[in-house]
Amino acid sequence: MQNLVIMESPTKAATVKNYLGSRYKVMASNGHIRDLPKSTMGIDIDKDFEAHYINIRGKSEIINTLKKEAKAADYVYLATDPDREGEAIAWHLITALEIPEKKVRRVTFNAITKSVVKESIKSPRGIDLNIVDAQQTRRILDRIVGYKLSPYLWKTVKSGLSAGRVQSAATKIIVDKENEIRAFVPKEYWTIEAELTGSGDRRFTARFFGSDNGAKIDLETKEQTEKILADLEGKRFTISDIKKGKKVKNPEPPFTTSTLQQEASRKLNFQSQKTMKVAQELYEGINLGHENGGAHGLITYMRTDSLRIADEAREAAKKFITGNPKLGPDYYPSVPRIYKSKAGAQDAHEAIRPSTEMFEPAKIKKYLTNDQFKLYKLIWDRFISSQMASAVLATTQIDFTAAGYLFRTSGYTVEFPGYMTVYEASTDDTGDREEGAKRLPDAETGEKFDAETIANAQHFTSPPPRFTEASLVKFLEEKGIGRPSTYTTIITIITTRGYVKRDGKSLVPTNLGEVTTRLMSENFPDIVDYRFTASLESQLDAIENGEASMNGVLKEFYGDFDKELTEALSKNEKAEYHLQHEETDIICDKCGAKMIIRNGKYGKFAACPNYPACRNTKPLYEKKKSEPVVAKQDGETMKCEVCGADMVQRTGKFGTFYACSRYPQCKFTKQKQKPLGVKCPKCGADLVTKTGKNRNVFYSCSRYPNCDFSTWDMPTNEKCPVCGGMMVRKKGKNYLYCMNDKCKYKKETEETEE
């Protein structure tokens, strides 16, 4: 009996193939194979929103191959991702490959591990058409909005623009924040801080609080502050009260998609797109070498809003914590931690956690890229800490009185670190997060202190901060806009299409984003209303749960949308939504006007605003000839192999290369070598990618000519299970083979080198 398993990703397929026996052939569809056409809307609104799907261009070869294998198989296991998109891909595969219903087996993997894969294969189900309908409804809604609104934007704002259902709401959120910042009126306030000294060289820094009867006083003017300073002149400070207590800090729950993106942004400076790319790699599988059993999926599915974790994972965390010599039983709580997901969360998947306790980050670091290690460690630390005992802090607050005024200082010490030994969550707070974190000297009520200095400072309240990727994802999640699988896509679309730009970590609306948002708000208020967008998300959830129908949701949406569109198209509003051109400091040398920025075929340039009367243009930026960078290898300056002078890095027709700094007197050059991440089988040095004659790529030892190892076939970190030799891949072939001439071992694989 032969069975076919179809997955989305070739990498994931290669990992799963290691876990299944010879009775299973594992292949990949490389994502969607059918979709709505690009040239037309593909939705027949008059026929109950019937969708016209076609095979995606360029997928014919994959479809034909899979169809042939599906026909020969006894059963076809559709193991696409465990979400709406994955369910829809499985549904499309049945149609495109003409798979008989009796052959279809739907399976999902929450984690790519041997136990999960084998257990899932034993428990197949049918296609869940409710989930498919939820995906189709989202796709059809987005297609209708995009195809109906885009021509309207071309007419009123600028040709080439595109509209989107969720992206329009997200852009408005950022525009509204910018308007809030512009409308903000700073408010003046003052602070007074006293440096106090007492016996035994004890020092305290205390801040003005208010009256000595405990009433808070806000310092709003310089005159008010200076009066207090005058009253305090020459006065001693007395400790009037000391409050001591204990504060228990509980750990954060394991990651969801949203919190992972937020924390990776804060701690690792990863954009959400990068976070999800690296997380996908960790989920699909990393080759951990022959000694660790080859490829393993290292984390559970990374698109989830659930905080649930499996009982076996909780037990594994307990075993790790109590058995770790740096932690122990005291670091595990008396009652295991169970976190409750927020209302409306889809509980189909667990929270994001390590898929197995076997692979501690430090032990497998050498098999991971730098980004993979950072993100895996973040996920590991967060999960382990989420199962640990609370931290206990000893808090102290000391009040000082002088001249009828109250000054206060506070701090804490860590009495028991608990989960903080492993992990502490970060925040978006921009204030002084260390305030109150200082350790205070011992003191007693009634003690007197002298004021070494008393300083006042003027401040102004700050406007609300702009959204960062982390805070925007948090806002989208809180308001129910989008789902874990769409946060990254939303941010990517609004930035790449020019509605929003990045300013450091901040997201700032462009002139295009503001004009488009104003147009949409005035003509299509529902589309940009995040409450309406969130309600549509709830309706999609209802379809998935069998509580609503696809056709009903689409009809209800389209009725109001069509009325708004008809009314908007009847207006002539081109002048009202005119885009303002960004002005430069460049003066037109023909007519004296300040030039503006325009977009052309080759990018931005400066143009005269008096066009067509004046057609003068200039480059926006003058090209500066930069000094060549000194070339270094292993931290040391590279030397010319001909004359001994320093080598420098230059860029030529075929990319970056190294050249002698004495050029043209010495014309020695050397190709820049790209590390492959694989060690030389002869000497253990790094292997590098090189380019030979006719631009053909080959692989060589970085110690050449001291080591002469080279090969045209791509080396891998995988060892031959027969003789221990290096396994290499022939270009374009679907197998690995052993380099040892005396060993004929060969292994099939789905991955091919492009």
The C-alpha atoms of residue 494 and residue 364 are separated, in whole angstroms, by 37
Q: Which residues pair with 413 in a beta bridge?
A: 394
DSSP class of residue 306 equals -
CB-CB neighbours of 291 under 10 Å? 7
> With 0-12 CB in 10 A as exposed, 13-18 as middle and 19+ as buried, what is 547?
exposed
Q: Tell me the CATH number for domain 257-386.
A: 1.10.290.10
Single-letter amino acid code for the residue at 179: N
Supply the pLDDT for residue 703: 72
Domain 3-127 CATH (choose: 3.40.50.970, 3.40.50.140, 3.40.1410.10, 3.40.50.720): 3.40.50.140
Q: Is 278 helix (H, G, I), strand (E, B) or coil?
A: helix
Asked whether 248 and 412 are in contact (CB, 8 A), the reply is no
> With 0-12 CB in 10 A as exposed, 13-18 as middle and 19+ as buried, what is 456?
middle
The C-alpha atoms of residue 324 and residue 345 are separated, in whole angstroms, by 34
CB-CB neighbours of 304 under 10 Å? 29
**What is the dihedral angle through the alpha carbons of 702, 708, 713, 718, rounded to the nearest 10 degrees?**
-70
Give the side-chain half-sphere CA count within 13 A for 101: 2
Could you give the residue numbers annotated as active site?
A: 301
CB-CB neighbours of 580 under 10 Å? 10
DSSP class of residue 627 equals P
The C-alpha atoms of residue 378 and residue 398 are separated, in whole angstroms, by 37
Taking domain 150-177+469-576, whether its CATH number is 1.10.460.10 is answered by yes
Q: Nearest CA to 384 among 304, 334, 301, 309?
A: 309
Asked whether 96 and 316 are in contact (CB, 8 A), the reply is no
Tokens of 21: 């026996």
Q: Which residues pair with 409 in a beta bridge?
A: 398
644 vs 104, 638, 660, 666, 669, CA distance in Å?
68, 9, 9, 10, 12
Q: What are phi and psi of 675, to 5 degrees?
A: -60, 140
DSSP class of residue 673 equals P
Give mean pLDDT in consecutive 10-residue pieces for the chain, a chain of 754 residues. Answer: 87 87 90 90 93 90 92 94 92 94 93 90 94 95 91 82 86 95 95 93 93 94 95 95 93 94 93 92 88 87 90 92 93 92 70 90 91 95 95 94 96 91 73 52 92 95 94 91 86 91 92 90 89 90 93 93 88 65 86 85 83 88 66 78 85 74 84 76 82 71 78 85 81 76 72 35
Any idea which residue has 């397929």 for tokens?
Answer: 13
The C-alpha atoms of residue 567 and residue 273 are separated, in whole angstroms, by 38
Q: Nearest CA to 99 among 90, 107, 112?
A: 90
Q: How many residues does the chain have?
A: 754
The C-alpha atoms of residue 161 and residue 156 are separated, in whole angstroms, by 10
Full-model pTM: 0.73
Domain extent listing, the chain: 3-127, 150-177+469-576, 188-250+391-460, 257-386, 581-618
SS (H, E, C) 186-238: CCEEEEEEEEEECHHHCEEEEEEEEECCCCECCCCCHHHHHHHHHHHCCCCEE
Q: Which stretches of 461-493 are assigned E, i.e. beta strand?
A: none
Asked whether 322 and 275 are in contact (CB, 8 A), the reply is no
Domain 188-250+391-460 CATH (choose: 3.90.850.10, 2.70.20.10, 2.40.30.10, 1.25.40.10): 2.70.20.10
Supply the pLDDT for residue 150: 86
Single-letter amino acid code for the residue at 175: V
CA dihedral for 607, 609, 611, 614, sign (positive or negative): negative
CB-CB neighbours of 634 under 10 Å? 6
Question: Which positions ≥6 away from 627 have C-beta within 8 Å?
Answer: none
Q: Nearest CA to 752 among 4, 214, 249, 62?
A: 62
**What is the dihedral angle through the alpha carbons of 512, 515, 518, 523, rounded to the nearest 10 degrees?**
-90
CA dihedral for 586, 588, 592, 595, sign (positive or negative): negative
Single-letter amino acid code for the residue at 183: A
Alpha helix locations (H) across 497-604?
A: 511-523, 525-528, 530-544, 550-569
CB-CB neighbours of 90 under 10 Å? 26
